[in-house]
Chain A
Amino acid sequence: MSDVILSMRGITKTFPGVKALDNVNFDVRQGEIHALVGENGAGKSTLMKVLSGIYPHGDYEGQIIYQGKECRFREIADSEKAGIVIIHQELALIPFLSIAENIFLGNERHSFGVIDWGKTRAEAQKLLETVGLSESPNTLVTDIGVGKQQLVEIAKALSKEVQLLILDEPTATLNENDSDKLLKLLLRFKEQGISSILISHKLNEVERVADSITILRDGKTIETLDCTTGEINEDQIIRGMVGRDLTNRFPRRGAKIGEVILEVRDWTVRHPLHENRTVVDKANLTLRRGEVLGIAGLMGSGRTELAMSLFGQSYGRDITGQAFIRGAQADLSTVNKAIDAGLAYVTEDRKTYGLVLDEDVKNNITLVNLEEVSNSHIIDQNKEIHLANEYRGKFNIKCSNILQKTVNLSGGNQQKVVLSKWLFAGPDILILDEPTRGIDVGAKYEIYVIINKLAEEGKGVIVISSELPEILGLCDRIYVMSEGKVAGELNAAEASQEKIMRYIL
């Protein structure tokens, strides 16, 4: 059990302006689940990119010793050949290819260059059974949910005879059920002698499955905790991550709840492609000033669709129903009208809908509200820089400066940029779709504080979240959505995980 399969020694990796990794040591033992935790921008993803050859040998300093030999990977193919497979923070499947085709992409079952479809399907079938996914190998990847896509990624990794599986925040986009399935799968792999490295901000999961935990902070290894010898608790991990104690997970609330600010009646949305599919079915909801309203539900239960269709009909077709803002019927037919009506929607998918990745932090923050930083159409650069710096400070965004491109920020810091951008728009009603996805515990707390402050200022906040503890800890009132319908409504006082789950199922 204790023989070391991987040893990374003195790894240092610098980007222009930042030292992302600073003399990091990292050991993984044969057949263990090794969790890698740390704040946003601590260097977790970067370390794994070094390991898997995405940053080739020579791009970093230090040594990688794998199965007793020093390795110098020049590209991903090299590390895969050695049995190291990485599954990225963002999934890398081709949507319009089938599950089987995706599994064997780059590794096709063929003879003389002609694909052997029989073998492809049969082997895919077997792999799908191993990961516990009951879908036909011929199904297109776009037709299955994120949870299942994650399993396809794992099946793909298995097809490469994986020895060391790296998962970068695999459960960030999954609901509890799917996360649970995935973690069980990792435990099963462990029995078969496959080691895994698990990056996650969900410390309860880490605590549950990890044999060792390595904590990174600011690009340095803080410590490696061994969970097999002693009990490790979350507080201990958090202390290592943020360098201090975090006594409360959720800040105190003191907002006064006022009059109704948003009311939605009989909101119905159809699927943009499948005309007969109703994604949101006669949803009703009310939101008051000073209130934090939670929407719970499974992935695909229509939460995001409801939010996006309200926000300038950005999703769906044949949208019917009425929305009242401050008592008056509101026209939300375009994004601009929705913004003018005081609405803001912070997306769950920051790379596709949230950020212009090629642009810098500053330009992303001011994009929605350029009028605010310009005089008669000409941008006042001073004002803009000032403002961007203000948000950088307020949200503690880690970047070398506000002129850094957002594509180079860590996942959590990108999320903070998206949040800043919408706060800068100065909305009255905020819809936050999975606002803490991929965000570390410390930063989560900061975001909760901001949410509470917004509520105290008399704004209405809707939080869509798949993390039930978050919904319970943060919200005054909770709607539960299930299959496009609002299935139930609970007050904070009466709500519990069990009650919510009952409505969901």
Chain B
Amino acid sequence: MSSIIKAFKANVRQYGMLIALIVIMLFFEIITQGILLKPLNITNLVLQNSYILIMAIGMLLVIVAGHIDLSVGSICAFIGSTAAVMMVQYHVNAAVTVIACLILGALIGAWQGFWVAYIKIPSFIVTLAGMLVFRGLTLVMLQGLSVGPFPKEFQMISSGFIPDFLGNGEFHLTTMLIAVLFLAAVIFFDIRARRKRIEYGFDVPPFGVFLLRNAGICAAVLFICWLLASYKGLPNVLIILFALTVIYAFITTQTVTGRRIYALGGNEKAAKLSGVKTKRLVLLTFANLGLLSALAGLVFAARLNVATPKAGTGFELDVIAACFIGGASATGGVGTVIGAIIGALVMGVMNNGMSIMGIGIDWQQAIKGMVLLLAVFFDVYNKSKN
């Protein structure tokens, strides 16, 4: 037992935010008398936060590289309005619009990355400018009006669910099948990783902890999927999100480029002298965030079914907060994709839970601010203790 407690303590930092997320969820589940985890609400929660989650992944790379991007909310709005004008006013096909918008987003990101990486203007300033520029351009594009509604195919990005091949219309069996396959893969890779570590003589958590963790993951995934399945199944957005998480988690932990981004953020001079093409890499992370912001902008517009000049206001703050809550370091070089996702979920659950409770937007802001501060404090405190 004492070894389990010890292992738990050692892993508090790693799992701290996850535990916090679960505690927060339980808290709201109780206080909202079970509304939080109602199938409909869970589905809504995913839809409501998908765009923040998507951007948090991109923002994480930028923060790890040692920069920041304040313009993501404005880029969201600008891309949303561009898509709206293309589809509604010029009747461009939805697929073409999506592709064009994604490319445009990447270009916007690259443009900002260019100023940061090659002209050496601090990213805070470049993206503050970008925040104003793209908000302004959104207003110009929409001429102050709301533009919509959009074609059905486009709306499907946000409001669609994956089709059910197996079910009877009541319970979404395909969703559960996907969940089981996914868990099988997770457990397979986890066991393999553990074997490797043992083989190389590294410390591993005791088998009990390992079992407990995997059981926990299985229970959580199955539970959430079961909830979703008893409503309409997996939303399309969730599939997109899931794919992005896996891809970016893989890029950051397993690829050469990922490794170099961390090195760049940790010590730019040393990275440069080690042959890392630092400028190009910075530009790339901004272009990537531009691309993901564009995707988020499209998802957001599709969800509201209208593009408005005010869309995406304040998103940048939620996105940045998500990364820091998830353990990223403001000085660069530290942070994980999974952490950012958990951070975004913490923010999302709190938004949702407090709204259900009927807490006004004013108090919500104040409380979220405190949570950000506490989360980072927790992180710093833990670090100083080691």
Known A356-B262, A356-B266, A359-B333; judge A421-B274 contact (CB<8 A).
yes
Cβ < 8 Å to A, chain B residues 196-212: 196, 200-202
A378 within 8 A of B: yes
Provide the residues of chain B in CB contact with A357, threshold 8 Å. Answer: 266-267
A371 sits at the interface (CB 8 A): yes
- B1 interface residue (CB < 8 Å to A): no
- A377 at interface, CB cutoff 8 A: yes
CB of B260 closer than 8 Å to a CB of A: yes
User: Which residue in A314, A339, A374, A403 is a CB contact (below 8 Å) of B256?
Assistant: A374
In the docked arrangement, what's the CA distance between A367 and B201, Å?
Answer: 23
B333, chain A: closest CB distance, angstroms: 5
Stretch at the interface among A287-295, A345-353, A484-492: A345-353
Q: Which of B267, B272, B329 contacts A355 (CB 8 A)?
A: B267
Of A103-111, A134-142, A269-277, A379-387, which binds chain B? A379-387
- Please tell me if A479 contacts chain B, counting CB pairs below 8 Å: no
Q: Check A379–B270 contact: CB distance below 8 A.
A: no
Minimal beta-carbon separation of A236 from chain B (angstroms)? 37
Contact in complex: A311, B270 (CB < 8 Å): no
Measured between beta carbons, the chain A residues less than 8 angstroms from B273 are 311-312, 314, 335, 345, 347, 353-354
Chain B residue nearest in CB terms to A345: B273
Decide yes or no whether A97 CB sits under 8 A from chain B: no
Residues of chain B within 8 A (CB-CB) of A222 are none
Q: Please pick, from B200, B257, B262, B276, the residue contacting A377 in the complex, using a CB distance under 8 A.
A: B257
A389 to B273, CA, bound (A): 23
CB distance from B204 to the nearest CB of A (A): 12
Flag if B275 contacts A336 (CB, 8 Å): yes
Answer yes or no: A466 CB below 8 A from chain B CBs.
no
Across-interface contacts of B269 in A (CB, < 8 A) = 352-353
Q: With A378-B254, A382-B196 as given contacts, are A359 and B266 in contact (CB-CB < 8 Å)?
A: yes
A421 to B263, CA, bound (A): 14
Q: Which residue of A lies closest to B250 (CB)?
A: A378
CB distance from B63 to the nearest CB of A (A): 14
Q: Mark B184-218, 1 if CB is under 8 A from A, else 0.
A: 00000000000010001110000000000000000
- Indicate whether A367 sits within 8 Å of B271 (C-beta atoms), given known contacts A357-B266, A359-B262: yes
B91: Cβ under 8 A from any A Cβ? no
Contact, CB under 8 Å: A379 / B254:
yes
Known: A367-B259, A377-B256, A377-B257. A356 touches B271 (CB 8 A): yes
Which residues of chain B come closer than 8 Å to A347, judged between CB atoms?
273
| Distance, CA A335 to CA B270, complexed state (A) | 11
Task: Give A354 to B259 CA distance when docked, in angstroms.
Answer: 16
Question: B334: which of A358, A378, A381 is its contact (CB, 8 Å)?
Answer: A358
A interface, size bucket: 20 to 34
Which residues of B are found within 8 Å of A358, using beta-carbon distances?
A: 266-267, 329, 333-334
Would you give the 0/1 interface string for A333-346, flagging 1 where the beta carbon is closer than 8 Å to chain B? Answer: 00110010000010
Minimum CB–CB distance from B109 to chain A (whole Å) comes to 21
Q: Which of B255, B262, B273 has the most CB of A within 10 A?
A: B273
- A242 CB–B CB distance under 8 Å: no
| Contact residues of B between 273 and 296, Cβ < 8 Å to A | 273-277
Could you mark each residue 316-359 of chain B with 1 if its beta carbon is under 8 Å from any beta carbon of chain A, else 0?
00000000000001000110000000000000000000000000
Nearest A residue to B277, CB-CB = A336
In the complex, the answer to whether B333 meets A356 with C-beta atoms within 8 Å is yes
The answer to whether B256 and A371 touch across the interface, beta carbons within 8 angstroms, is yes
Q: Which of B257, B267, B333 has the most CB of A within 10 A?
A: B267
Within 8 A of A (CB), among B349-372: none
Question: A residues within 8 A CB of B266?
Answer: 356-359
Q: Which of A394-428 contact B (CB under 8 A)?
A: 401, 403, 421
Return the chain B residue nearest A355 by Cβ: B270
B234 → A minimal CB distance (Å):
28
Q: Is the CB of A195 closer than 8 A to any CB of chain B?
A: no
State whether the Cβ of B386 lies closer than 8 Å to any Cβ in chain A: yes
A230 at the interface (CB under 8 A from B): no
Measured CB to CB, the closest approach of chain A to B118, in angstroms, equals 14
Residues of A within 8 A of B272 (CB): 314, 335
> Which of B255, B274, B334 has the most chain A CB atoms inside 10 A of its CB?
B274
CB-based contact A367/B274 at 8 Å: yes
CA A94 – CA B344 in complex, angstroms? 38
Which of B254, B263, B271 has most chain A Cβ within 10 Å? Answer: B263
Residues of B within 8 A of A379 (CB): 254-256, 259
Residues in chain B near residue A354, CB distance under 8 A: 270, 273
On chain B, the residues within 8 Å of A385 by CB distance are 200
Q: Is the CB of B270 within 8 A of A370?
A: no
Chain B's closest residue to A356 (CB) is B266
Q: Is the CB of A370 within 8 A of B260?
A: yes
A393 within 8 A of B: no
CB atoms of A367 and B200 under 8 A apart: no
For B276, the chain A residues whose CB sits under 8 A away are 367
Judge whether A363 is part of the interface by a CB distance below 8 angstroms: yes
Complex Cα distance, B262 from A347, in Å, reads 21
Task: Name which residue of chain A comes closest to B386, CB basis.
Answer: A16
Contacts of B274 in A (CB 8 A): 335, 367-368, 421
| Cβ-closest chain B residue relative to A407 | B266
Question: Are the C-beta atoms of A356 and B263 separated by less than 8 Å?
Answer: yes
Contacts of B257 in A (CB 8 A): 377
Given A363-B263, A379-B259, the answer on whether A356 and B254 have CB atoms closer than 8 Å is no
B202 proximity list for chain A (CB < 8 A): 401, 403
Residues of A within 8 A of B329 (CB): 358
CB-CB under 8 A from A381, the residues of chain B are 196, 254
The reply to whether A368 and B275 form a contact with Cβ atoms under 8 Å apart is yes
The smallest C-beta distance from A247 to any residue of chain B, in angstroms, reads: 35
Whole-angstrom CA separation of A359 from B255 in the bound complex: 16
Chain B residues contacting A336 (CB-CB under 8 Å) are 275, 277
Residues from chain A with Cβ under 8 Å of B254 in the complex: 378-379, 381
List of 3 A-B pairs having minimum Cβ-Cβ separation, nearest first: A356-B266, A370-B256, A356-B267
B contact set with A: CB distance below 8 Å: 196, 200-202, 254-257, 259-260, 262-263, 266-267, 269-277, 329, 333-334, 386
23 A-B contact pairs sorted by A residue (CB < 8 Å)? A16-B386, A314-B272, A335-B275, A339-B275, A345-B273, A352-B269, A352-B270, A354-B273, A355-B270, A356-B266, A356-B267, A356-B270, A359-B262, A359-B333, A363-B259, A370-B259, A370-B260, A374-B256, A377-B257, A378-B255, A378-B256, A382-B196, A401-B202
